[in-house]
Structure 1
């Protein structure tokens, strides 16, 4: 199918981007790996595509104050290959599952967050780490934690006249370990169920915090504090109970709700155990 008619602009400054979005009938174009298929299927009909690739400040990618800041125009492949990204191990674990290499060469990290597909990997990473998402709009800039940013399927805290400027992922600290896994029909397909985990231990190896985010299981990434469960000798039981609570995606041709619950429970138990093992290896001597 062909996209419906639209105007195309390529502003050079963020102020010009916001001016073009004024009125709410424009759509931001960065990598286009989510937007272009939506247009081709005529699921969206924006009057104007606002290409942000000429805005220099949106290409920023660096470590600042214990966090990795990624601008809205930074490609996923650039982050995947960058030494700076090692400060956030969960990004490196998730990135190979994001589509295919060719798509990651054009797609942007921030674009994936702004698209907010409930089965996407990077929103789950942001939710698990409670990353900070910076949004610019007519009223100025604001910073939203990931826990408040994802409002539902393809729905975020950014309005139609806003642009997501950057995301800041907190850098890993000593004593933290991470896990990531998903199940899909084929590599590169959207996940039937997936989990991202983070466990932090103290100097004695005792668990201080454990977080788990599930994706592909509801209308947004679902995060839970699972610290009380980490002391269990077998996590499969508690995670099966958690799956019954939070997995509510309707069954389809790829798998029933019950099947997704079983996938989530097994992955969650395994990746929490993996994160705990890695955290204890990272405890400073």
Structure 2
């Protein structure tokens, strides 16, 4: 069987392999850029609400300093997450603690002028504190960073109840919302890990089959397990009939190697360890 000229199909794996294209790795700056945009959006939202609150000049100056520190710290946190130590607990905890302190200072200082917007702003800010590191792959320290976020939020709630006279019921609602976001973040990370595990198992199975092919063991049903494997038929892009019409690699091997390859194939098909 010949491959049509100009088809771009791989001579072994056919049109399905070619049409899948070569996977492109994510550019190194993509994820830090998106992460930075997310952090900037949250800081900008809090800053805009504080600006709209018409704070006294001296309080506004304090907020400008704190938000400026938040911007600088946000850039450091984004860079740290993109680094090799970004998933280490010794790197995450100082970032989480500093972020919680900054959030308490920013929202606590402006709390008297934020009215009913204080609880949702606090919940969003502290959700960002732990979601920054704990959604996605390798989020192994969720209890620690989630605990830091909840402790920071609890300190702000104590201040809100005792000094700002915020209704406790409102704080309970937003605490539950934050806890729900945390559980969803944990679920997302665990789902990613589980799906990656399944993909690794499937790829390992595929690589084992491709290894067999590379060893010259099989290519058609005559080689005893290609055309009968639907997944392989789909992978190659050839029809079952075309695969069955192909000679096996054993048949294509030099005559002095065919007996060895046939014996090796028989051992593999019987489940025994094939010789190297």
Give TM-score, length-normalised by structure 2.
0.29
Instruction: Compare the two structures and name the one with the higher helix fraction.
Output: 2
Which structure has the bigger radius of gyration? Answer: 2
Instruction: Compare the two structures and name the one with the higher strand fraction.
Output: 1
